[in-house]
Structure 1
Amino acid sequence: MQRIIPNLWFDHEAVQAAEFYAGIFGGKVLSTYGEGPTNPDGEKQPVTAEWEILGMRFVGINGGLNADGSSVFVPNESFSLEIDFDDQAELERVWHALIADKGEPSECGWLKDRFGYSWQLVPTVLMECLQGPDPAGAARAMQAMLSTSKVPLDGAKIRAAYAGTP
C-alpha cells in the first residue's frame, strides 16, 4: 500500500492532467470525484482526479481561480518529480512528451510540463558517476550535468565526462 500520495493542484485541469500523465507513462485514470470549479467553457469539473503511473498513485485537485481570475496556486521548482531511467531512449521519449504542448525545457535536464510542474528525468548512470570512487571523475560528471541546458540529460556524455574522455 502506498502511504504517501502526492496531491497536485490545478485550476480546473486535473482530469486532463491525469489523462496526459497516464498517456505518457502507460498508466491509468482511476477515478474522478465531486463537482468542482468550471473550466473556461463554463462546464463543471470534478473536484479531484486520481491516477496511477509507474505504480504510484496521484491525486489532482481542481482548486479553481481567485476572484481576479488568477491561479490560486502556481507550481514552482520547490517541488519536482524525479524519475530515474536505465534506458536513454525512454528518458528522451518521456522528456519530449512532457514538454510537448507548452512545456518548458530548463537547466540540468529539468523541465516544466504544460501544467507548470517540474520534472527531473535522470539517467541512472548520473548517480553511479557522482558516487563513484574517482572524485575528479565525479566532479566532471557533475559539471556535465550542470552544463546541460534545455535538453535531456545524456547518460553517455555523463559517463564520458566521468571517464575523462571527450
Structure 2
Amino acid sequence: MASVRTHLWFGNDKAVEAATFYAEHIPDSSVGRVITARTDPDSRVADVVEFTVAGHDVVGLNAGPELHLDEAFSFYLRVDGQEEVDHYWEILTADGGEPGPCGWCKDKFGVSWQVIPRELEDLSGDYSTAANQRVCRAMLTMGKIDVAALQAAHDGT
C-alpha cells in the first residue's frame, strides 16, 4: 500500500535534535527510528530520523550546510484558545526562532509553522460575511494571533 510522509532536509545537521524537540513539546509527537548512514569509513555521517509531529509522519535528513528549509513548507498547528497560542508561539520562537506575520513563525531549526487557534477558523467561516471579512483583515495585521482581537473584529467592536 502506498503512503505519503513529509520529508524535511535539515541543512544544519539538526534532524535528530529537531525531532526530539517536537516530541518533547508538541502533543502526539514522537521520535521513531534513527539511522546513521555512512557510505564509507571516511564519509560524512547522514542521520535519517523517522518521527511524528502531532500525528503526522515525517522523515528528517541531515542534508548538509548547503540546503536550507524555507517558508515553502510549513506545519499548520491548530490549537484551542489564546493560552495555547501563547504557549506554542513561545516554544517555537525561543532560542533563535523568529516571529512572523499572520500567525507564522520559524523555529530554531528553520521549520516554518502557522499557529492558528480554532477560534480563527470558526470566526472566519468562509469569508463570505462582513464579520468574516473583518476577522481576516484583523488577522492580516497580527504577528502572533490575538483571539480577543479577532472576536472584537468579528463583533464589530
TM-score (norm. length: structure 2): 0.85
For structure 2, the 5+ residue unaligned runs are none
Q: Deviations over 1:112-152 (max 9, x none)?
A: 11111111010112122222687211121011100003xx2
- Give the match for residue 101 of structure 2: 107
Contact 2:46 2:63 in 1 (8 A): no
Matches within 5 A, 1:13-92: 13-26=14-27, 27-35=29-37, 45-65=45-65, 71=66, 73-92=67-86
Q: How far, CA to CA, are the matches of 2:10 and 2:105 in structure 1?
A: 18
Runs of 4+ off more than 2 Å: 1-4, 34-37, 44-47
| SS of corresponding position for 1:107 | coil
Contact 1:81 1:120 in 2 (8 A): yes
For structure 1, the 5+ residue unaligned runs are 38-43, 66-70
Identity of aligned residues (%): 36
- Give the match for residue 122 of structure 2: 128
The one-letter code matched in structure 1 to 2:48 is T
- Give the match for residue 96 of structure 1: 90
Superposition RMSD in Å: 2.3
Q: Deviations over 1:75-101 (max 9, x none)?
A: 121211101112321221111101111
- Give the match for residue 40 of structure 1: none
Contact 1:32 1:46 in 2 (8 A): no
Q: Say yes or no: does 1:160 pair with 2:152.
A: yes
Q: How far, CA to CA, are the matches of 1:160 and 1:4 in structure 2?
A: 40
Structure 1 residue 36 displacement after superposition? 5.1
Q: Give the length in aligned residue pairs.
A: 151
TM-score (norm. length: structure 1): 0.81
**Which of the pair is proportionally richer in strand?**
2
Structure 1 residue 4 displacement after superposition? 2.3
